[in-house]
Amino acid sequence: MPETTPLVIDTDTAQDDCIALLAGLLDPRADLRAVTMVAGNVDFDHQVRNAHLTCNVAGRLGEVPIHLGCRRPMVRPWESAENVHGDGAGGLTMDLTGCEPEPEHAVDALIRLAAENPGELSIVAIGPLTNIATAVVKDPDFVRNVKTLYVMGGSNNARGNITAAAEFNFYVDPEAAKTVFAAGFEIVVVPWAPLTLDQAVFDQPKLDEIAALATPLADFFTKVCAATLEFDRSVGIDGTTHPDSLTAAVLLHPELVTRSARYHVDVETAGELTRGYAAMSWGVHGLEPNATVIEEIDAPAFYAYIKNLLATPTTPVREMA
């Protein structure tokens, strides 16, 4: 049994968030202590349902606590990515009787789990950073208690996705993102561009290989990624995008990272055209680094990792249609 990594996944569960959860649920290196939900991609209750669907297809329904967190960004109204992801799970449903989320709020769960084993828990934050920023504000010890915060967000001096300047997670709650990068965490960033667009897109031959696995997980992957694939193609991306599962993967398998560098990262909250823009300064502007930004991964190894994960034979607990 390899050494395991204690983690929480903070997620706006839709499309690739589901695949990141599968990594947390099924990778033998992962010790997934909880799933915490934050407002982001799609309707909040759909996100919760998508998390239950994912636990179900992994054969682990009811085994990992799901905590509901902030239902809107800190300052601004919530904006969704339903135009990208549909309902986030390809229309899949199941009987949710008895699938109760935990009574404890996600922010309190994050604070408690970090405090229970100070310096040991890593957090994979793959939605807007509202829960993480709220935990920072609520508990002065939270930053110190977290081992490493893995953040999917921003672009590294490259194009955004929701606007020319901004990536979705930082755009939706820029005040939260700014708070988190100023808080003093040990942070690792997986950016949208160029990293995800260059190295974590699965084209049709790869999607065919995954479909041919014909496992419950591979069928789930194909359904859950279908709406996003259609959107991606409409904007010139030749396949499905996997920034969130990459973020979980690099925590569990740091050997996937072939190049990273220290940066000073800050997030624009005041710009007229640049709301949520991540200013990633690469060391020549006299700013103290506050994050490690991943610049390059072993892309074939990442694809092999996901394919292997989806080949895992699981028995879904409940029927999904």
- Residue ranges that bind ligand BDR, judged by CB under 6 A: 16-17, 41, 81, 84, 126, 152, 161, 167-169, 192, 243-244
Residue with smaller CB distance to ligand BDR, 41 or 156: 41
Work out how close the CB of 212 gets to ligand BDR at its nearest, in angstroms, rounded to a whole number.
26
Task: Output the CA angle 204-154-5, nearest 5 degrees.
Answer: 80
Residue 126 within binding range of Ca ion, rule CB under 5 A? yes
Work out how close the CB of 79 gets to ligand BDR at its nearest, in angstroms, rounded to a whole number.
11
The 54-83 site mask, x for binding Ca ion (CB under 5 A), equals ------------------------------
Cα–Cα dist 128/37, whole Å:
10
Q: What are phi and psi of 291, to 5 degrees?
A: -160, 155
Per DSSP, the three-state class of 103 is coil
Choose the contact partner of 221 out of ligand BDR, Ca ion, none; CB within 5 to 8 A by kind.
none
Residue with smaller CB distance to ligand BDR, 108 or 201: 201
Tokens of 79: 């904006």
Cα–Cα dist 305/311, whole Å:
10
Residue with smaller CB distance to ligand BDR, 70 or 108: 70
Work out how close the CB of 192 gets to ligand BDR at its nearest, in angstroms, rounded to a whole number.
5
Cα–Cα dist 15/4, whole Å:
25
Residue 17 within binding range of Ca ion, rule CB under 5 A? yes
Cα–Cα dist 278/29, whole Å:
31
Helix residue ranges, H only, 146-215: 168-172, 174-181, 197-199, 204-213
Work out how close the CB of 208 gets to Ca ion at its nearest, in angstroms, rounded to a whole number.
25
Residue 316 within binding range of Ca ion, rule CB under 5 A? no
